[in-house]
Amino acid sequence: MTSPEPILFCWSGGKDSAMALYSLLQQKKFKIVALLTTVTEGYDRIAMHGVRRELLQRQADSLRLPLHEVFIPPQCVNLIYEARMEEALRLFYNQGVRKVAFGDIFLEDLRAYREKNLARIGMTALFPIWKRDTLELIRFFHQQCFRAVAACIDTRVLDPSFAGRELDKSFFRNLPPLADRCGENGEFHTFVFDGPIFQSPIPIRTGEIVNRDGFVFCDLLPAEHPATTTNPTVIPSGGPPPLRPAVEESAFSERIAKTSDKEKSENV
């Protein structure tokens, strides 16, 4: 009997990563050896999503998978980003891993960028949900009982009130017609907290809402964390969180301004 092939999974913490991981786990020919996630030094946040590192670790714990974090500096230029990613990838290459999986859906330039960088060190990429219709993916997301919350939204496309909302059916009904259902063009980024790949849900609460450079972020906290707003919402819950005004500046918002181009292309 052939042993499962070892796979490194590039994990953003969002719904597309979750669905891609689920797809791989259904295939007995693969074994996920670790999750790989970029984290900004000094801020303890997942790149672009702005999700706390503590919640990232809770995802990995519930998935029962090792987590390998790649630390990058604020305002990270692509040269440093690529060097640190390559350093991490070579660690796994030396352990016999030759393939890295991603949750990308249809962005051809991003796929080519990933494949080019991996080829330099003798690795190849897997895209488990590539070219899947995004409307069909959202149906699949709900059918499989995944749950997620919008951690970041682009106000050029979406109303600020989408930040902090759970991705229930009303979320997608309210999306404007030109927005991709999966946010593949960067319309929104998410944090997945429940689904068939998790041993148990990750209870969270909504915190501060931050408006910065056209993006609105909802700070997500562990459910037991002291509330930072007067009307926090604990998720899972029976409905969407109440709307709250956005604040303009905070320590959280300062971190958001310091993301590289490649950080901003992470899976939603």
pLDDT digits (tens, 9 = 90+) for 132-189: 999 999 999 999 999 999 999 999 999 999 999 999 999 999 999 999 999 999 999 9
Alpha-helical (H) ranges within the chain are: 15-25, 53-63, 78-93, 108-119, 134-143, 169-174, 251-256
Question: Which pLDDT belongs to residue 257?
Answer: 40
Answer whether 212's CB lies under 8 Å from 251's CB.
Answer: no
Query: Residue range 47-66: average pLDDT?
Result: 94
Residue type at position 161: S
Question: What's the farthest any 2 CA atoms get from each other in the chain?
Answer: 58
Strand partners, 32: 7
Per the listing, tokens 């404007």 go with: 176
Pick from 42, 8, 26, 51: which is nearest to 266 by CA? Answer: 51
Percentage with pLDDT > 70 across the chain: 84
Query: Residue range 71-100: average pLDDT?
Result: 94
Q: Is the pLDDT of residue 86 over 60?
A: yes
26, two tokens: 């259904």
pTM (whole model) above 0.75? yes
Question: Which pLDDT belongs to residue 236?
Answer: 55
pLDDT digits (tens, 9 = 90+) for 205-218: 999 999 977 889 99
Q: Reduce the DSSP state of residue 4 to 3 states and report it.
A: coil
Question: Which pLDDT belongs to residue 238?
Answer: 41
Q: Topology of domain 5-126, per CATH?
A: Rossmann fold (3.40.50)
Domain extents in the chain:
5-126, 147-259
Per the listing, tokens 């969407």 go with: 240
- Across the chain, what does the average pLDDT equal? 86
Query: Residue range 124-139: average pLDDT?
Result: 96
Angle between helices 134-143 and 15-25 (to 10 degrees): 70
Q: Which residues contact 215 (CB under 8 A, 6 or more apart)?
A: 152, 153, 154, 155, 256
Question: Which pLDDT belongs to residue 48?
Answer: 78
Query: Residue range 230-258: average pLDDT?
Result: 39
Q: Is the pLDDT of residue 254 over 80?
A: no
Pick from 122, 149, 106, 131: which is nearest to 239 by CA? Answer: 149
11-15, 63-67, 175-179, 263-267, range with the lowest pLDDT:
263-267
Question: Which pLDDT belongs to residue 40?
Answer: 84
Give the distance, in angstroms, between the CA of residue 133 and the centroid of all CA atoms in the same chain: 19
pLDDT digits (tens, 9 = 90+) for 63-81: 999 999 999 988 789 999 9
Pick from 42, 132, 38: which is nearest to 87 by CA? Answer: 38
Give the distance, in angstroms, between the CA of residue 241 and the centroid of all CA atoms in the same chain: 20
